[in-house]
Structure 1
Amino acid sequence: MIKTLVVDDESLVRAGLRFILESAPDLEVVAEVEDGEKAIAAVGRTRPDVVLMDIRMPGTDGLAATEAICRLAEPPAVIVVTTFDSDEYVFTALEAGACGFLLKDTSPHDLIRAVRLAYAGDSMLSPRVTRRLIHRFTSDRPTRRRRDALAQLEALTAREREVLIEVGLGCSNSEIAAKLHMSEATVKSHVSHLFDKLAVTNRVQVAITAYRAGLID
């Protein structure tokens, strides 16, 4: 069973997420809480595999909670759940270590799939939303960020650069394998090398590097 923690300040949203998640035979909601402080405590108490984290909550918000949870020795995967247009802190949460994000109008099927992929370390990133979000927050960043990103790419092989671009486009490991004509195991190995060489912890941060370096428009 994949253990999940639901964090949202609206009880109706929490109930809806629980109903959807527990409709899947392999998902279990071990707790649901209404703010970031309780989320941090619940992670220590219930040891979830995946956390669905709202951003805007009273008290300790989802950003602070994500940062604290991702600093743990063995953190769960954190998926930001957002209305997108109103959440200015989403990008910061992703940089802090959240493995991806979902819109609050995500279909039940995609929600369940996202949790399964996060558990497997292969987060689902919507290409449309990923490009829009990352472009929005990187286009106005100082040119130093681009220089730093380009310097990081110097350590990559040509094949790793190809995988980097596909990750930045929101492709899963299986999709990358099909596009680049390699096995899924080889893709996973390349992604692992990207994590090490770029000093990042998840696919979103890999995508951010690709955008900052100008490899993706």
Structure 2
Amino acid sequence: MNNIIRVAIADDDAIFRSSLYEVLAAREDIELVGTASDGLRLLKLLETRPVDVALLDVDMPRLNGIRTAELIAERYPKTAVAMLTAFRDENSLSQALQHNVRGFFTKDLSGEDIAANIRKVAAGETVLGNRPSQIMVQHFVKTSSRKRDPGLTDAVNNLPRHLRSVFDLLVQGLPNKAIAQELHLSDSTVRSYVSALFDATGYRTRGELMMAAIDAGDGLRQANTQRLQS
């Protein structure tokens, strides 16, 4: 079985890009497919070489990381995307989540930590660094007191029990394989249930659904309490 993770890097900082390349190239289970100074060059690279994980900076010339992630999701759905940067605001993080970005970690991590995060992303996990985690908490605090759209709460409250169980784990960031293990289901069954969740809630990606669940906050918890008591 081939366990090599094929990685491509896009960052306009040539020194950082070169340094990261050397660090990751030393890992036996990681193959560096190539590097690019912006999103357009990375997309050109993806046209010719299969990539398992694309590491993107958010701020790049010509085509930034958010737009690049969106195009990768459309054109290369099997390529996982991770943002390797310092997120400054919830808008960037929210946009990245909407395009199914799986990893959010900062450039000051050690090479071993970055490699470990790449392995997690390649395995289907969602990885949040300290700063992105803080932004999500701040987003939750800011939205916890405002009036929310009841649409998601209503949709979730009407889910059949088997889909609600999957929803509860999905919005915690668990990948399909972990959900399958937790609920004692096959991977194909979980994929089918996740697709049904998207249809039922009207969301297209896990990231969108996670952010919407944060916005819904107490409404979802109250719905869950009522479901357990019924």
Give the direction of change, closer, same or farther, for the CA distance of 1:129–1:155 in structure 2 (3 Å limit).
farther
Alpha carbons 1:152, 1:197 under 8 Å: kept: no
Residues 44-55 of structure 1 mapped to structure 2, 5 A cutoff: 44-55=47-58
Q: Map of 1:1-217 to 2, 5 A cutoff?
A: 1-72=4-75, 74-85=77-88, 88-126=91-129, 129=131, 131-137=133-139, 139-140=142-143, 143=147, 146-158=149-161, 160-170=163-173, 182-183=183-184, 189-190=189-190, 193-199=193-199, 203-214=206-217, 215=220
Residue 205 of structure 1, CA deviation: 3.4
Aligned partner of 2:35: which letter? E
Q: Which range moved further: 49-58 or 166-175?
A: 166-175
Query: What secondary structure sits across from 1:47 in the alignment?
Result: coil
Rate the CA distance shift 1:174–1:132 in 2: closer, same or farther, 3 A. farther
Question: Which has more radius of gyration?
Answer: 2
Q: Give the conservation status (yes or no) of the 8 Å contact 1:149–1:212.
A: no
Once superposed, what is the RMSD of the aligned Cα atoms?
3.3
Deviation of 1:84 after TM superposition, in Å, equals 2.0
Q: Deviations over 1:82-120 (max 9, x none)?
A: 212368423212212222311222333332222222222
Question: Residue 4 of structure 1 contacts residue 49 of structure 1 at CA under 8 Å; is this kept in 2?
Answer: yes
Distance 1:152 1:136, change over 3 A: farther
TM-score (norm 1): 0.77
Instruction: Indicate the percent of aligned positions where both proteins have the same amino acid.
Output: 24
What SS class does the counterpart of residue 29 from structure 1 fall into?
strand
Amino acid at match of 1:54: D
Cα distance in 1 for partners of 2:178, 2:53 equals 23
Q: CA deviation at 1:48?
A: 0.9
Deviations 1:98-151 (CA, angstroms, capped at 9, x unpaired): 22311222333332222222222223335x55553334446459845x423213
**In 2 relative to 1, CA 166–132 (structure 1 residues): closer, same or farther, beyond 3 Å?**
farther
Identify which range, 192-201 or 38-47, moves more after superposition.
192-201
- The 1:170–1:122 alpha-carbon spacing in structure 2 relative to 1, beyond 3 Å, is closer
Per the alignment, do residues 4 and 211 of structure 1 end up closer, same or farther by CA in structure 2, a change over 3 Å counting? same
**Structure 1 residues 5-30: Cα deviation after superposition (integer angstroms, max 9, x where no partner):** 10100012112221232222111111
